[in-house]
A and B are shown apart, each in its own frame.
Chain A
């Protein structure tokens, strides 16, 4: 897949600081991909987002979009890049529709009204289109921000915590809209969030920052599997002693609590384990499998 955004050896040292906030980071965004940026607070996520949007100068390194150098073709590139976050506001005396028109013009559209109408329908903003931005709720504002981000049919959309501080139902609908827009317009998306479930649901690939450095790059499932095994939980009805000796012999990580047991095993070996238990005459009444999650991964890297 061709790369739409390429970041190479990015370094940011803030004036008056000796330590880099972002230290030699390189990554790329492929066409049609949703790339998540994860990391604990102070890891350099926001600093990186600001640099790839051009609102923060780069100390060294390069950023290019569509094969063009960002610093030299800033305006031309930003025509194809949308942005949304819940951390900035919109001109509060302008209505939702006027705000969208304003940003449509700023994207260079000669007549933004057709796209404004399309976004109003798509993001369900019809009932608030004449409301001033200053009177909107956080959830409504988040939807308007997303509509703004997708308005000029950008090839890339950068979403910096678009669901932060929103109620779970609103976050769910926002996630649904993001996935829908990606499928409908084949937009590539850079996505940051503190909600691991959300990142797992939305992102195809995740890069992880820690203390200004990129420490991992992979799919959410792959990253999760690197720190934790699947947990198979069984309620044993027959053969508990056989299971004890089997676990000892195979060096399985196993926890016993009366008849309830939990075995840690690679996800790919679960089927084999269950076959072996059956052949040893070990019976169980209940089974549940807990897969490793991105949250397990995040908690582990935050501790290190």
Chain B
């Protein structure tokens, strides 16, 4: 393991983050657009229903969901940038190890998720008066579970891209957003149709959002929820990493030059 090679990957993407409009809008515009729209909808619905914690639940769920998407985006953009720049070959013939490449992208995802957490928390507090820190120390396990989940989705998506190339790019992005309704982000598990219940219960994010809603509304929740979420998160992360390495090797059999 060489920290300079890890830093090299981070150095390259940190520069691009400030120069690529796509990365800037992805990091700031879309999440804040979402916060604003859903925040206003939430304010209207809260005033109508009178439920005291509805607004807080919605805003915190949005922040946590966008935080989950940060590692997904960093991992996908991290590899896609090289594909778009016809630079996969150049990077592959350096001494950079796959593990170092993965660590660099995951670190970037965690750093940007932390920045996102800080800025968006400030935004919803200033605009809607919602304080995310009402969840207290639960934020730490939430963060860990969501990062493992986000990385799992990121490696799942990028596995498809390294195997089948740019032609599955759109499918891959669509796939990552499919997890939003299936993770009980916006509505509780109890509201979701029974037909998708099993899938929802198999996703680690579900346990974060369910716990968050319980904490914010002051309701009890099963103590094993977060452990289950963490276990599932680690399990899926391991699976997605294995899939990524497998797909990359499959791709290597045809040559990385085609990427």
Q: Which residues of A contact B (CB under 8 A)?
A: 14-15, 46-47, 50, 53-57, 75-79, 81, 83, 87-94, 98, 101-110, 148
Contact = CB atoms under 8 A, between A and B. Distances in A.
B234 to A, nearest CB: 26
Given A57-B252, A103-B94, A106-B94, A93 B16 contact: yes
Contacts, number: 101
A80 B90 CA distance: 15
A115 to B, nearest CB: 13
B95 A56 contact: no
A90 B92 contact: no
B16 A94 contact: yes
Interface residues of B, number: 33
B11 A14 contact: no
Contacts of B15: 93-94, 98
B174 interface: no
Nearest to A99: B12
A81 B8 CA distance: 18
B95 to A, nearest CB: 4
Given A55-B92, A102-B12, A105-B8, 4 more contacts: A55-B256, A57-B252, A89-B86, A105-B9
B168 to A, nearest CB: 18
A89 B85 contact: yes
A-B interface, 5 closest residue pairs, ranked by CB to CB distance from nearest: A105-B8, A106-B94, A55-B256, A89-B86, A79-B95
Which residue of A47, A54, A75, A103 has the most chain B CB atoms within 10 A of its CB atom? A75
Interface string B220-259: 0000000000000000000000000000010011111100
A88 B82 CA distance: 11
B93 A108 contact: no
B89 interface: yes
Interface in B1-48: 2, 4-5, 7-9, 11-12, 15-16, 19-20
Nearest to B12: A102
A10 B255 CA distance: 16
Given A89-B87, A105-B11, A110-B4, A75 B97 contact: yes
Query: In terms of DSSP, what is the predominant structure of the interface of chain B?
Result: helix
B91 A50 contact: no
A77 B81 CA distance: 26
A106 B96 CA distance: 6
Nearest to B9: A106
A267 B199 CA distance: 80
Contacts of A78: 93-95
A90 B253 CA distance: 24
Given A94-B15, A108-B2, A108-B4, A88 B89 contact: yes
B257 A75 contact: no
A106 B91 contact: yes
A55 B93 contact: yes
B94 A55 contact: no
B85 A15 contact: no
Contacts of B93: 53-55, 78, 81, 83
A91 B257 contact: no
14 contacts: A50-B257, A55-B92, A57-B253, A78-B93, A81-B93, A91-B12, A92-B85, A103-B8, A103-B90, A105-B4, A105-B9, A106-B94, A107-B94, A108-B5
